[in-house]
């Protein structure tokens, strides 16, 4: 599907660390939008093996801040046409996305979100219990009496799911065809910075000279920022998810309940894909835990009693690089030629196309792309945070 170059060249115009969706998309848009093709994507393991392949594949733009809504909505626009553009089936499937409210205060936050969304042209509204029950007859809106009942929901019809591996592979093929080199099994061991400017990258396969490095490693960002001595607010927490055995199609929508720490959708293969909230303590490990599976099963069965006897097929964890304001950290840094695409916490997959597009523009022009100006790393120094309460895993 794409070439596997035998050896690294001595020099590239741009080196991208991380062969996940974001890094590969950046390589693709560097070629497509800016004509920059002398690019190496370095991946220490295999393509899409990090956050790209470990999320629950949900795509939506019903965020709370105007900065977030504009950004994620551009991503939805790109996603909708992406299978055609990449000539690769991403199984992009619009399902409609319910965020359930189990309290009046959470319903109030949703009203606020709906108004921001509508103002910015995003299809989003508050719906009542009858609407939810009609859409999803299998749901017990009273949660078996074990949890607070569902009062209403924020409904976002364009909410979609996609095959996440295919997004990485599609961008990889596109980048490869336009001339970028993808090097898997290649680990970056250090970054050479001379007088505040990037000079090159040390790898386990030798030194590469370059003036521009894009770090697109999400959950591994603290390893890379350590190499260049950059301080960030990032801390890493695992987020766990599981899939059940395949069932006949019955759940068309995507259902999220922040109070129950639950989000669930049914994949095109029939599996229920379900995730929870972050593990509470900082941990750079992709281990799974029984605690997680137990509590998620309980909540899933409270909401959908019919899945009580369904088996879990697979359980895994991904690393989330969390920021204090639940917005990403993107663009230029205090080191010339070092660009950062991080802080992807629990919202990275849906941003894959737009982060690729905006980071490619930022790297190509050395100017922060307009959509990501609010997400620059120095916002913390300026106390200008972008408090994104619409992010997954944020309690309302």
Partner 1 sequence: MKIINCPINGPRPAQEFHYGGQFREMPDPDAVSDDQWADYIFNRNGEPGIKREWWYHLPSGTWFVAERDNCSDRFLRTYLYKQESSP
Tokens 């390589």 correspond to what residue?
27
Shortest spacing between CB 281 and partner 1, in angstroms: 4
Shortest spacing between CB 220 and partner 1, in angstroms: 9
Q: Which position among 104, 248, 280, 294 is part of the footprint of partner 1 (CB under 8 A)? A: 280
Question: Beta-strand (E) ranges in 250-311?
Answer: 254-257, 262-266, 272-278
The conformation of residue 374, written as its DSSP 8-state character, comes to G
Q: Which position among 90, 150, 236, 255 is part of the footprint of partner 1 (CB under 8 A)? A: 236
Buried b (16+ CB within 10 A) or exposed e, 352-362: bbbbbbbbbbb
Cα 191 from Cα 193, distance rounded (Å): 6
CB nearer to partner 1: pick between 151 and 223: 223
Best CA proximity match to 299, nearest among 269, 264, 247, 265: 264
294 belongs to the binding site for partner 1 (CB under 8 A) = no
Contact 57, 161 (CB under 8 A): yes
Stretch binding partner 1 (CB under 8 A), from 20-28, 118-126, 143-151, 230-238:
230-238
Stretch binding partner 1 (CB under 8 A), from 74-82, 184-192, 198-206, 381-389:
381-389
Q: Residue length, the chain? A: 396
Residue 375: both structure tokens together: 């997400």
321 belongs to the binding site for partner 1 (CB under 8 A) = yes
Cα 294 from Cα 280, distance rounded (Å): 16
226 belongs to the binding site for partner 1 (CB under 8 A) = yes
Residue 41: both structure tokens together: 């994507």
**Element of type H or E holding 40:** strand 39-42
Cα 119 from Cα 59, distance rounded (Å): 20
380 belongs to the binding site for partner 1 (CB under 8 A) = yes
9 belongs to the binding site for partner 1 (CB under 8 A) = no
Cα 372 from Cα 370, distance rounded (Å): 6
185 belongs to the binding site for partner 1 (CB under 8 A) = no
395 belongs to the binding site for partner 1 (CB under 8 A) = no
Cα 287 from Cα 315, distance rounded (Å): 10
Cα 225 from Cα 18, distance rounded (Å): 14
CB nearer to partner 1: pick between 131 and 223: 223
The conformation of residue 11, written as its DSSP 8-state character, comes to B
Mark residues 17-56: x for contact with partner 1 by CB under 8 A, - for none: ----------------------------------------
Q: Which position among 234, 254, 260, 301 is part of the footprint of partner 1 (CB under 8 A)? A: 234
Shortest spacing between CB 120 and partner 1, in angstroms: 27
Tokens 């801040």 correspond to what residue?
65
Stretch binding partner 1 (CB under 8 A), from 35-43, 49-57, 218-226, 247-255:
218-226
285 belongs to the binding site for partner 1 (CB under 8 A) = yes
315 belongs to the binding site for partner 1 (CB under 8 A) = no
Shortest spacing between CB 383 and partner 1, in angstroms: 6
Tokens 């007859």 correspond to what residue?
137
Q: Which position among 126, 148, 284, 293 is part of the footprint of partner 1 (CB under 8 A)? A: 284
Binding site for partner 1 (CB under 8 A): 221-223, 225-226, 231-236, 280-285, 287, 291, 321, 324, 380-383
């Amino acid at each position: 599907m794409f070439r596997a170059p035998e050896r690294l060249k001595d020099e590239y115009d741009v080196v991208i660390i991380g062969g996940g969706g974001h890094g590969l998309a950046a390589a693709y848009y560097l070629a497509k939008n800016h004509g920059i093709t002398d690019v190496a994507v370095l991946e220490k393991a295999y393509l899409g093996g990090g956050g790209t392949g470990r999320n629950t594949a949900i795509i939506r733009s019903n965020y709370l801040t105007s900065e977030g809504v504009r950004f994620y909505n551009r991503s939805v626009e790109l996603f909708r046409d992406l299978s055609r553009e990449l000539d690769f089936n991403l199984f992009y499937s619009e399902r409609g996305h319910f965020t359930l409210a189990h309290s009046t205060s959470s319903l109030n936050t949703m009203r606020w979100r709906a108004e921001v969304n509508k103002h910015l042209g995003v299809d989003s509204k508050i719906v009542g219990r009858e609407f939810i029950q009609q859409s999803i007859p299998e749901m017990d809106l009273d949660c078996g009496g074990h949890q607070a009942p569902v009062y209403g929901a924020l409904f976002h019809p364009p909410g979609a799911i996609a095959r996440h591996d295919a997004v990485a592979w599609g961008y990889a093929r596109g980048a490869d065809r336009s001339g970028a080199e993808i090097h898997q099994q290649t680990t970056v061991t250090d970054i050479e910075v001379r007088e505040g400017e990037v000079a090159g990258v040390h790898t386990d396969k030798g030194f590469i000279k370059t003036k521009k490095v894009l770090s697109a490693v999400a959950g591994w960002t603290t390893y890379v920022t350590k190499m260049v001595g950059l301080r960030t607010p990032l801390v890493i927490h695992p987020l766990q998810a599981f899939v059940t055995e395949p069932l006949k199609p019955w759940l068309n929508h995507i259902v999220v309940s922040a109070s129950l720490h639950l989000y669930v959708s049914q994949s095109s293969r029939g599996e229920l894909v379900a995730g929870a909230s972050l593990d509470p303590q900082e941990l750079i490990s992709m281990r799974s835990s029984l605690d997680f599976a137990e509590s998620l099963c309980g909540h899933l069965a409270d909401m959908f009693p019919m899945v009580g006897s369904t088996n879990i097929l697979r359980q895994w964890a991904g690393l989330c690089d969390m920021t204090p304001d639940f917005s990403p950290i993107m663009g230029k840094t205090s080191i010339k030629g070092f660009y950062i695409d991080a802080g992807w916490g629990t919202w990275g997959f849906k941003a894959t196309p737009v982060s690729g597009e905006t980071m490619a523009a930022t790297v190509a022009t050395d100017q922060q792309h307009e959509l990501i100006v609010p997400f620059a790393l120095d916002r913390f120094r300026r106390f200008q945070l972008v408090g994104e309460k619409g992010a997954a895993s944020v309690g309302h």
